Chains A and B, each alone.
Chain A
Amino acid sequence: MNSSDKKLIAGIILFAILGLIGNHIHTTLQSGKKVSTQAVIKAEGTIVRTIVLSDGAAESFLVMGKLGNEKVEISGNKIRIAESPCPDQICVKQGWISMPGQSIICVPGSIVIYIEGESSVDAILR
């Protein structure tokens, strides 16, 4: 390892830190405008369901992805993928998410769940 390598590593770390800051700002901005949070579920590129997350909500249902059905579970403000037919199970390991800007992505099953903070302006426009 020489000095050029170290500069490269420093550059990558710097870029990653900028990205992390960006992520943080994105999450904060999303929750700043929140009136209520909703989870959007996309399967193979199309939105299959949008659910408002509120206290006391409890539900589990199946979403059809590329590899078959994936079990999505909602408990209060949180949502997760409980069961998935994908080989690596990364989506299941990602666990519960509840903050706007967070997401669960199952790459092999082509299923994306993300949470957005619905602002009152958006609600009116919709």
Chain B
Amino acid sequence: MVNTHKLLLISLLVTMGTALHALEIMLPNPLPLPGAKLGLANIVTLMALFIYGPKEALSISVLRVLFGSLITGTLFSVGFFLSLAGAMLSLAVMGLLVRFLPAFSVIGVSIAGAAAHNTGQILLAAWLLETKHIFYYLPFLLLTGIPTGFFTGSVSSYLKKYLAGYAFGEEK
């Protein structure tokens, strides 16, 4: 039996994630830092993680990276693989934090996710471009990840409160 409520909510999350991912690629990056960005799509991943769990969050983030790249025409480019690597590592770290370290608030989880995203991107970029020089940017990216992670974390935290009586309640 298909859970219609779940199906609907996951579809909505994928759609919102795709839109945010596409929007993000279109936003100009004001910093001379490869890979620095707001991480808006992370809001959706965080929501998926809190509403459902790591399994659903994984499908949602893979789908949104795929659809988002399809819309912006970056599918299978270097940037696409970097996004995917970042999204996967950040999801892994956030999933582990939510599961095993509940002491962190949504904001903390989001900042950790941002740091993991940047690390994943840099690791894959170093491997793809065959250069260790890209690690030079990692400290700068980690520092930019704190305010951006704080921002997406705050948004997610409000969203979680709002959705608490709605999505979580209906699920039971």
Contacts and interface: CB of A to CB of B under 8 A. Distances in A.
Interface stretch (A50-58, A69-77, A106-114): A106-114
Contact of A114 (B77, B131, B150): B131
Given A4-B104, A12-B115, A20 B139 contact: yes
Interface string A1-17: 11011001100110111
Contact of A12 (B29, B129, B136, B145): B145
A78 interface: no
B32 interface: yes
Contacts of B139: 15-20, 22-23
Secondary structure dominating the interface of B: helix
Q: Which 10 residue pairs spanning A and B have beta carbons closest together?
A: A19-B139, A5-B108, A103-B133, A45-B130, A4-B103, A16-B139, A93-B32, A16-B142, A112-B131, A94-B32
Interface of B: 28-29, 32-35, 77-79, 82, 101, 103-105, 107-108, 111-112, 115, 125, 128-131, 133-140, 142-143, 145-146, 150
Interface of A: 1-2, 4-5, 8-9, 12-13, 15-20, 22-23, 26, 42, 45, 66, 88, 90, 93-95, 101-103, 105, 107-108, 110, 112, 114
